[in-house]
């Protein structure tokens, strides 16, 4: 693009108006700076290609995808397995290998392994204490899961969970870094291994907006490393993404304890507000029901609140304030939601406590107990996740 004629024209401009020379230099220097950063990225890619690292990475990813496919085939063949419920749990979780993935907006990813046979109690320990206002993201996934990292700019990238090194002990100094570019932040990490069996991907924003993408389009977005931010207001931010079936219902839960359900089929393809939140409120969970009939809500003081799926009011209009799960008095006393999910008693959940400990819970027992923490505990639950 840079022809000798163009350079000649720039020089003539500088001769005619000497004041332009300074601007010309400034513009060219800025561009050079930009291009040299880009060049460095390309050189790094080139080196990885020449060393065969890229090939290894792709081979490992293909192997992982083949494994996922095999797993899905077995699930689909199993009684009760339906493609629309693709986001459901593995049939025998205790026999699969599970890992914990923690992430920060700065793009740090930490992986911790879990024993093949899961047991209730402390599973790992992060250096504490954890700031309850800005806890790390928490995910409990199969070790062969494919992860999608979504940045708040809408950029995305995929990587197999298996490619992350297991940190022992858990320390942010040992984290893998998937650094955001410029001013962007890592907004969410979601499992997408079962992408091919879903009908739609639903992207949620912190302020309660939803965006629906057909699976085929979502797949091409993932391939192009750009799924979009899913926000329409500058003050909003990408929250997460879920895979779901056509007949599914999306459930949104806010920190203030407001819950809304929306039929996936009726959701528009544009970004629309599905839950109207107060200015100081934001989402803490967005998930599809996926055929499950029990909802679990976890609060910061360790309560495990159970509701039947029939409790959800599908008649509430979009943009409504939702159903209130917490009373105003409890909200006033500082109680808030930290996580929620549609569950079965066989599932397992993982809670990150304010002292940095990561505790595993069999959800059947947890639902019966109704609490994650003993009554006299001074700790707080800062994040909660169930098996994805």
Site for another protein, rule CB under 8 A? 1, 6, 9-10, 12-13, 16-17, 19-20, 23-24, 27-28, 31, 154, 213-214, 217, 224, 226, 228, 232, 269-270
Least separation in angstroms between residue 155's CB and another protein is 9
34/119 with CB nearer another protein: 34
| Cβ count within 10 A of residue 126 | 23
Rounded Cα distance, 99 and 110, in Å = 10
> 86-101 b/e with 16+ CB inside 10 Å = b?
bbbbbeebeebebbbb
Best CA proximity match to 277, nearest among 327, 340, 334, 206? 206
50/224 with CB nearer another protein: 224
Rounded Cα distance, 275 and 261, in Å = 9
Residues counted in the chain: 388
1/375 with CB nearer another protein: 1
Between 53-77 and 19-50, two packed helices, what is the crossing angle to 10 degrees? 60
Q: Which residues pair with 387 in a beta bridge?
A: 140
Least separation in angstroms between residue 231's CB and another protein is 9
Least separation in angstroms between residue 122's CB and another protein is 44
25/116 with CB nearer another protein: 25
97/220 with CB nearer another protein: 220
Least separation in angstroms between residue 197's CB and another protein is 21
Least separation in angstroms between residue 2's CB and another protein is 9
21/373 with CB nearer another protein: 21
Least separation in angstroms between residue 12's CB and another protein is 6
Pair 253, 337: CB distance under 8 Å? yes
């Amino acid at each position: 693009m840079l022809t000798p004629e163009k350079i000649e024209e720039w020089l003539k401009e500088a001769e005619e108006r000497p004041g332009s020379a300074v601007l010309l230099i400034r513009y060219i220097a800025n561009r050079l700076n930009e291009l040299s950063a880009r060049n460095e990225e390309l050189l790094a890619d080139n080196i990885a290609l020449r060393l065969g690292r890229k090939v290894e990475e792709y081979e490992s990813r293909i192997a992982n995808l083949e494994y996922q496919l095999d797993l899905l085939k077995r699930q689909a063949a199993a009684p009760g397995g339906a493609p629309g419920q693709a986001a459901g749990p593995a049939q025998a979780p205790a026999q699969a290998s599970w890992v914990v993935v923690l992430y920060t907006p700065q793009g740090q990813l930490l992986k911790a392994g879990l024993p093949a046979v899961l047991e209730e109690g402390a599973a790992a320990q992060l250096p504490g204490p954890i700031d309850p206002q800005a806890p790390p993201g928490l995910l409990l996934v199969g070790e062969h899961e494919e992860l999608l990292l979504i940045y708040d700019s809408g950029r995305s990238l995929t990587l197999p969970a298996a490619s992350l090194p297991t940190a022992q002990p858990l320390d942010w100094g040992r984290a893998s870094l998937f650094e955001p570019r410029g001013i962007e932040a890592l907004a969410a990490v979601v499992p997408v291994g079962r992408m091919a069996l879903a009908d739609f991907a639903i992207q949620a924003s912190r302020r309660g907006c939803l965006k629906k993408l057909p699976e085929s389009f979502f797949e091409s977005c993932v391939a192009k490393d750009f799924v979009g931010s899913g926000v329409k207001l500058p003050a909003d931010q990408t929250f997460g993404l879920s895979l779901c079936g056509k007949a599914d219902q999306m459930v949104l839960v806010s920190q203030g304890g407001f819950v809304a359900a929306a039929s996936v089929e009726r959701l528009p393809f544009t970004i629309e507000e599905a839950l109207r939140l107060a200015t100081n409120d934001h989402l803490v969970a967005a998930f599809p029901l996926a055929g499950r009939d029990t909802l679990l809500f976890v609060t910061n003081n360790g309560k495990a609140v159970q509701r039947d799926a029939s409790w959800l009011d599908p008649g509430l209009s979009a943009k409504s304030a939702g159903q209130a799960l917490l009373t105003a008095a409890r909200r006033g006393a500082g109680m808030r939601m930290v996580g929620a999910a549609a569950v079965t008693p066989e599932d397992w959940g993982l809670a990150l406590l304010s002292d940095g400990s990561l505790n595993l819970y069999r959800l059947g027992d947890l639902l019966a107990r109704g609490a994650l923490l003993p009554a006299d505990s001074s700790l707080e639950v800062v994040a909660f996740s169930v098996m994805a």
